[in-house]
Amino acid sequence: MPIDATQAYDDQNIFAKILRGEIPNNTVYENDHVLAFEDINPQAPYHVLVIPKGAYVSWDDFSENASDIEIAEFVRAVGHIGREAGHVEPGYRLMANTGINAHQEVPHLHVHIFAGRPLGPMLAR
Ligand code: 5GP
C-alpha cells in the first residue's frame, strides 16, 4: 500500500529496522549520515537504495527538515555510489517516490539507483 508522505515518522518501518540492525541488508556504502544497500527485489541488474540515517518519511520531509550537513552528505553519497560502481559513463537513473501517487511503500526516505542496462523511457505509459 502506498503511504501518505505527510504522515508522522513510524519507527517500526522496515528501513528503521535495517538501520537498527534488527534485519539484515547487503550494505554497499555507509557513512555517519547515510546507508546504502541492495534492494531486496531488484528491478535492474544494479538496484541500490540510499537512505539517510535520520528519521525522515520522504523527500518532502527531508528537504524541509534535515540539516545542511545531512542533505550534503546524502546528495554526495548518491553521486559517490554511482561513480564508484562505474555507472556514470553508461548511465544510471535515480528515483525517490514520494507519497501516494508515486506509490511510495516504505515510509523512510529512500533514493533508488538503477543501472546496468538501458532503462527505457522515464515512465510507463
Ligand atoms: P518504494 O516503492 O517505497 O519507492 O520502494 C521500496 C523499495 O524497498 C522496493 O523496491 C522494495 O523492493 C524495497 N524493500 C522493501 N522491503 C525491503 C527489505 O526488507 N530489504 C530491502 N533491501 N529492500 C526492501
Residue 74 sits in a domain of what CATH number?
3.30.428.10
Q: Identify the pLDDT of residue 116.
A: 98
Residue 122 covered by a domain: no
Pocket test for ligand 1, best of 15, 22, 40 (most atoms within 8 A of CB): 40
Say yes or no: CB of residue 106 within 6 Å of ligand 1. yes
Does the residue 110 lie in any domain?
yes
Q: Which residues pair with 93 in a beta bridge?
A: 114
pLDDT beyond 90 at 122: no
Domain that residue 41 falls in: 14-115
User: Cβ distance 61 to 4 under 8 Å?
Assistant: no
Residue 47 is among the residues annotated as catalytic for this protein: no
Is 33 inside a domain boundary?
A: yes
Number of domains the chain contains: 1
Predicted pLDDT of residue 38: 98
Note the pTM of the prediction, 2 decimals: 0.98
From the CA of 43, give the closest atom in ligand 1.
Answer: 10
Digit-coded pLDDT (tens) for 44-103: 999 999 999 999 999 999 999 999 999 999 999 999 999 999 999 999 999 999 999 999
Whether residue 103 has its Cβ less than 6 Å from ligand 1: yes
Query: Does 2 fall in a domain?
Result: no
For residues 20 and 85, the answer to whether their CB atoms sit within 8 Å is no
Q: Given the CA of residue 95, which atom of ligand 1 is nearest to it?
A: 4
Atom of ligand 1 nearest to the CA of 3: 3
Answer whether residue 103 is part of any domain: yes
In a domain, 70, yes or no: yes
Q: Is the pLDDT of residue 22 over 90?
A: yes
